[in-house]
Amino acid sequence: MIAEKWLSLNNHIINIHTKQGRVFEKCAHGRLPAAQNRKKKWLKADSVPALKLKKVVSQIAFVRDVKKMSPSQQTYGVEVYHSIVNQFAPKMYAYLYTGMYCRLILAALHYNENSGRKHAKTSTGQLQYTVKFPKAKKGGHVVRRVNTAATYEYVTELLTETLRLCENNVDEEAFDVPDPLSSRWEKPDKREAVVLFRSRFNH
């Protein structure tokens, strides 16, 4: 389905929207404005631009990749989550296991509370947008929607829980810190390793 849907692009751009494939039979969009009311022209079948685009769209390796894409959830959310992790645990610092563990949990709490924020409106009810100039665009701009401000309810909840634990004299829960990953590695005999190193690189 997903491959046929992707390949239907080759037809869509030349104004063919039906009889697409075996399972994806016709374009998912609704009625399109009549040709005379369209600002954007369709490509002509078998024209050089249409053929060039078709060559890109239909590449076997590319179509194989398209099949592996998630049909509903793309990577944007995951990328946003990882950038939040970077805020709570910047990569330039090293943290102990417990520190890192807690920071990941905080990042998850913040993400869960704020990932579905609404489009912000001005006091007069207009949807808010901002214009940015990302370096990659080399002077070009992108328009981004402005979301409502982030909230930090989870902080209040954590403070309340901390107070509750203190008031009830609850000992902190035992926390299993695993051994560092490197502890599982086999350590070579140093003298043997050096002999091997010299025999390999001395000649």
Where along the sequence are the contacts to Zn ion (CB under 5 A)?
12, 17, 27
**Own/partner long-range contacts of 135-142 (Cβ < 8 Å, ≥24 apart):** none
Residues ≥6 apart with Cβ < 8 Å to 173: none
Measured from the CB atom, is 18 or 202 closer to Zn ion?
Answer: 18
- Cβ atoms of 80 and 115 within 8 Å: the answer is yes
Measured from the CB atom, is 41 or 190 closer to Zn ion?
Answer: 41
Measured from the CB atom, is 27 or 53 closer to Zn ion?
Answer: 27
Minimum distance between the CB of residue 27 and Zn ion, rounded to whole angstroms? 3
Minimum distance between the CB of residue 73 and Zn ion, rounded to whole angstroms? 24
Measured from the CB atom, is 38 or 119 closer to Zn ion?
Answer: 38
**58: which DSSP letter?**
T
Minimum distance between the CB of residue 5 and Zn ion, rounded to whole angstroms? 11
Kindly state the helix (H) or strand (E) to which residue 10 belongs, with its residue range.
helix 9-12
Rounded distance between C-alpha atoms, residue 87 and residue 1, angstroms:
39
**Which residues partner with 142 through β-bridges?**
132
| CB-nearest residue to Zn ion | 27
Minimum distance between the CB of residue 71 and Zn ion, rounded to whole angstroms? 18
